[in-house]
Amino acid sequence: MKETVEFIRPPGQHLSQSIVVTDGLSSSGKSIVTPLLSTLERGELWLMDSIFEYLCVADSLGSMKRDAAATMVNLCADNHLYNLMISRNTNFRKTDLTSASRNLLEERHQQRLTLNDGNTVVEQIRKVEPIQTLMTHYILGVSDLLYEAFGGRLKLMVVTVRHPLWLLENWLTGCFTQRIGSDPREFHLCVEAEGQAVPWFTAGWERDYLSMNDAARSIRTVASLSERQNLKIAGMSARQKSTLLVIPFERYVTNPRPFLDRITSALGTRTTESTDRMMRDLGIPRDFSRKDIAAQGEKIASLLAERDADKASLQLLNRLCEEYEAEYMA
């Protein structure tokens, strides 16, 4: 019988020492928070790599051993940071949200293209301790792997939240419940249920998902992911809570400075001129009021009517909206 082995990445090999994860449901505001992190002193170009999501999901569903998943997380983070420091694999597509250009870092990364690699890069990383930012999508509820793998090197877990009407719009207009498991350009991790591919987050209610229409699936998806996120926050250890920063979209867009101050304080850094420029590029601060919610409500009501949303799903959506407004907009 083959002997079981345990994978490790010894602490002495860790390059990443100051890690930030930004997480939240799609359209919750990650894209107007995360770019600011790259403009901070010691900040580096943020990464959106699904490998961290896939590993967390596989770990949470018991499909991968924890030691192997944790080792992969650390290897991927360290490898990414090393490559960043020499502009290897850097995104220079000007239209991409993750590009060096869109994040005001093109000049830095053009200069790095000419640098030598090797031990001098490692020495620079050890000296500067660059802030490495990883963006993920709705995996806070299955993020135990990241906390274990990164340990004290995970300095901040930023979680963006937003009114459910906007979260639902993303699922409805993006047609994700129709595309997941069928569209070659769609990359959600799927599981098998009754011979069909369904999103990983439906594990436990797969049959319900298969029996629903598009409207019901979309509402239940937002509800399920939000509940998973809320349960994780409620059950966090003291150590995990000390790294958590929840950013409600509606408060952030009207007054981002208090949140930015908490971020810089937690990371022991400060803003730069690029931070102010990035805020202007992102259009923050901006106006937001209850009138915006009313207008969005009418828009969503029309979309749901077109998709024959059932009464139970509409009631679930109403409950989600009431709970969010009581928690974050009271």
Extended strands (E) in 57-195: 131-135, 154-161, 190-193
Buried-state track 263-282, b at ≥16 Cβ within 10 A, e below 16:
bbebbebebeebbeebbeeb
pLDDT given at position 226: 97
For residue 110, how far is the Cα from the chain centroid? 27
Write the pLDDT tens digit of every residue in 133-163: 999 999 999 999 999 999 999 999 999 999 9
Rg (CA), the chain: 21
Give CA–CA dist 141/81, Å, rounded: 25
Are the C-beta atoms of residues 74 and 10 closer than 8 Å to each other?
no
- Tell me: pLDDT of 127 over 90: yes
- Look over the chain and give the mean of its residue pLDDT values, rounded to a whole number: 97
Query: Does residue 3 lie within any of the structural domains?
Result: no
Tell me: pLDDT of 1 over 60: no
Give pLDDT, residue 47. Answer: 97
Query: Residue 4: its pLDDT value, please?
Result: 84
In a domain, 204, yes or no: yes
Q: Residue 168 in contact with residue 218, Cβ under 8 Å?
A: yes
pLDDT tens per residue, range 233-275: 999 999 999 999 999 999 999 999 999 999 999 999 999 999 9
Confidence of residue 330 (pLDDT cuts 50, 70, 90): confident
Give the separation between CA 181 and CA 199, rounded to whole angstroms. Answer: 7
Indicate the pTM of the whole model. 0.96
Domain count within the chain: 1
Indicate if the pLDDT at residue 112 is higher than 80: yes
The answer for residues whose C-beta is within 8 angstroms of residue 119's C-beta and 6 or more apart is: none
Backbone angles phi, psi at 307, to 5 degrees: -105, 15
Nearest to 289 by CA among 254, 317, 258, 330: 254
CATH code, domain carrying 295: 3.40.50
pLDDT at site 2: 63
Residues 40, 18: Cα–Cα separation, whole Å: 13
Residue of 288, 253, 256 whose CA lies nearest to 275: 256
Helix-helix angle 164-173:311-328, to 10 degrees? 140
Q: Estimate the crossing angle of helix 66-85 against helix 51-60, to 10 degrees.
A: 170
The rounded distance, in Å, linking the Cα atoms of 117 and 83 is: 9
Structural domain including 191 reads 11-328
Residue 109, both tokens: 């990364």
pLDDT in tens, 25-64: 999 999 999 999 999 999 999 999 999 999 999 999 999 9
Q: How far apart are CA 219 and CA 314, in angstroms?
A: 8
Q: With respect to residue 211, please indicate whether it lies within any of the assigned structural domains.
A: yes
Residue 6 lies in a domain: no
Report the greatest alpha carbon distance in the chain.
Answer: 67
- 123 belongs to a structural domain: yes
β-pairing verdict for 18-24 and 244-248: unpaired
Contacts of 254 (CB under 8 A, 6+ apart): 285, 286, 287, 288
Please give the Cα distance from 268 to 124 (Å, whole number).
18
Q: What is the pLDDT of residue 3?
A: 73
pLDDT mean over 170-199? 96
